[in-house]
Amino acid sequence: MRPLKVFSYGGGPASAIVDHFPAGAVQQAGLVSRQSLISAMGGPSRMALADSAARPAAVRVLQADIASSLRNDVEARLPGIDLVLWDLFDERFGVDRLSDGTYLTRSPERIKHVSAGSGAMRTIPFGTDEHFGLWREAAERFTGFLARKALLLRTYVLDLAWAHTDENGLDAELPFGLSSDEANARFSRYASYLRDRGVQVLTHSRTWTSRTHQWGPAPYNLHDAVYREVAEELLSRLPGELTEPPAVPAAVVPAQAFPAHDERHKAPILVWAGLDDFDASREGRTHHRVAPAAGQSYGLCSLIQNNGSDTLLVISHGALNREKYSLPRFEWLATLEGRPENLMFLADTALEPHDDLELAWFTGSAADDLTERYAELVKRAARQLGARKIVFMGGSGGGFASLALAARTPGSRALVFNPQTNVRKYWLKSVRNYTKRLYPEFASEKQLTGLGARCDLAAAYAAAPQLEHQVLYVQNDDDPHHLENHLGPFAAALGMEPRSGVSADGTVRIVVERFAEGHNMPYRTVLNPFVDMVLAGWGGPLAGGPLPAVAPAGPAVSA
């Protein structure tokens, strides 16, 4: 069998262990060291070396740190990486924040050869809440990157304890810096975070250092015998795990209420203990359930298709005939699943406790604002997927949800078809049932006005000083109820007429055409061209221009 090609990232163990596998078992495919994850994921900085006499090795690691080279170094060695070994030892240095918002690892090389100059550095020590917060965000981006490169399931984090003694049992502590106990306590927080997110972590607590180590005696310069033990343990875990992903990641919390696999949507079901545990980065299609926190009434439910794109389409469903459709409902899946963008389908979990409730607009109850929680879920998913463009999509009640979610997501766009814009102006029977089931404390549906913008988007948009997102609002001209009761007030709130046109600032485009009969959703041949349209010219104002063909003949949009 050919040697496994190993990419090492870290401050010692990840590189040293490669040399302690059995002869011929592995081969070093790449190495990045002296580069904190915060620096590596924070983007290149403009600092320059101040000491031209620095050793070549120091120059190389400093230039790599300044360039935030980690991702480029990994990509340059693809597809020839079988295994990624990652240790956290270099995080011990902390980071320096530069005035341009980038970071450098506060390594001995940085202190000696890179001066602050105009960069005006501020040190963020390892183990502080600030450092951990920055590192956690960087870890989300890095694990998302590894997932997109099909490497996350081939990645092992080495959680090796700092030693207290050497091979002779003598004290190995240094007279400066962190003690072993302090270091191990701090590192455990970082390793636990990765473990809880499903990253494979190999923990080894029986360690000792060597008085003759090539880099000198220190609690983190471990004895060769330790590295051999870890190499043997790691090798014993590799065969099955390199070729077959684990059925349920460690971050997933078992839940008897949900099976391990969603046969209907052909996706594993991942159940998360809370929003902080949620991880969307796994490749392919995954069904996610996020448990409610204390005081919350509903969990969160989504189906995510990770296509490795920089764009995320987020789809919310409308009213459901409960005799025809079973929950959860991931609307437009069959129509959109062949697109190249990442897809995220949201299911309204407020319907689940009530068999007769067909529509709840993703608002939740008075005490549980589902719209706000789903907006946060989407933002986290976008970061983890590396998506910089987010489009919220939906029709009718899903259009209401998409407009509300986009309003909570600066820089996003919404593509909506025949949306409601005021819950109270929907069909009275549905509104009364919604009020009865989700707001039993209300004497009548009239009290929904007390929820303000949560149920009245015309009021919400009118109150916004300026929109920080953009809207493509598509209304069928054969749907008089929604033209009069929903488009009319919404357009008036924006100073527009309820007909085709673009707002003065280019944030809203209204299209009134015949793309289907009555209140029906667009046909398959119409929906995808509208998606292409809303993605065009990203970053600029919406503009008028040719529309997709909107003839009402053709196959209906598939669920």
Structure confidence by residue, pLDDT tens digits, 322-377: 888 889 999 999 999 999 999 999 999 999 989 899 999 999 998 899 999 999 99
Residue 487 has pLDDT above 60, yes or no: yes
Strands (E), 255-396: 261-262, 267-272, 284-290, 300-306, 311-316, 342-347, 389-395
Please write the tens of the pLDDT for every residue from 129-152: 999 999 999 998 898 889 888 888
pLDDT of residue 50: 66
Q: Identify the CA nearest to 289 among candidates 316, 270, 315, 314.
A: 270
CA quadruple 321, 325, 326, 328: dihedral sign: negative
* Alpha-carbon gap, residue 278 to 14, rounded angstroms: 27
Q: Identify the CA nearest to 103 among candidates 76, 143, 67.
A: 67
Residue 117 has pLDDT above 70, yes or no: no
**In which band, very low, low, confident or very high, does the pLDDT at 252 lie, cut at 50, 70 and 90?**
very low
pLDDT of residue 54: 66
Which range is least confidently modeled, 53-57, 120-124, 395-399?
53-57
Region 10-35: mean pLDDT is 88
Q: Is 25 exposed, middle or buried, given 0-12, 13-18 or 19+ CB atoms closer than 10 A?
A: middle
Region 305-316: mean pLDDT is 96
Give yes or no for a contact between 173 and 180, defined as CB atoms under 8 angstroms apart. yes
pLDDT of residue 208: 93
Give yes or no for a contact between 75 and 100, defined as CB atoms under 8 angstroms apart. no
201 phi, psi to nearest 5 deg: -120, 125
Residue 39 has pLDDT above 90, yes or no: yes
CATH, range 4-243: 3.40.50
Domain range 307-340+349-535, CATH class: alpha beta
Residue 311 has pLDDT above 90, yes or no: yes
Q: Identify the CA nearest to 345 among candidates 375, 315, 372, 373.
A: 315
pLDDT of residue 558: 45
Report the percent of the chain where pLDDT is more than 70: 92
Domains 4-243 and 307-340+349-535 share a fold: yes
Helix (H, G, I), strand (E, B) or coil at 473: strand
pLDDT of residue 293: 85
Domain boundaries, the chain: 4-243, 307-340+349-535
**In which band, very low, low, confident or very high, does the pLDDT at 243 lie, cut at 50, 70 and 90?**
very low
Q: Identify the CA nearest to 363 among candidates 283, 280, 266, 437.
A: 437
CB neighbours of 229 closer than 8 A, spacing ≥ 6? 204, 206
pLDDT of residue 119: 59
Determine the distance from the C-alpha atom of residue 165 to the mean position of all C-alpha atoms in its chain, rounded to a whole number: 41
pLDDT of residue 254: 37
Q: State the pairing for strand pair 267-272/284-290.
A: parallel
Helix (H, G, I), strand (E, B) or coil at 466: coil
pLDDT of residue 412: 97
Give yes or no for a contact between 149 and 74, defined as CB atoms under 8 angstroms apart. yes
Q: Please provide the size of the chain in residues.
A: 559
* Alpha-carbon gap, residue 37 to 25, rounded angstroms: 28
Report the percent of the chain where pLDDT is more than 90: 62
Which range is least confidently modeled, 45-54, 298-307, 459-468, 498-507?
45-54
Region 42-64: mean pLDDT is 78
* Alpha-carbon gap, residue 481 to 370, rounded angstroms: 27
> Is the model more confident about 405 or about 107?
405
Does residue 382 come out as left (phi exceeding 0), alpha (psi in the -120 to 50 range) or beta?
Answer: alpha
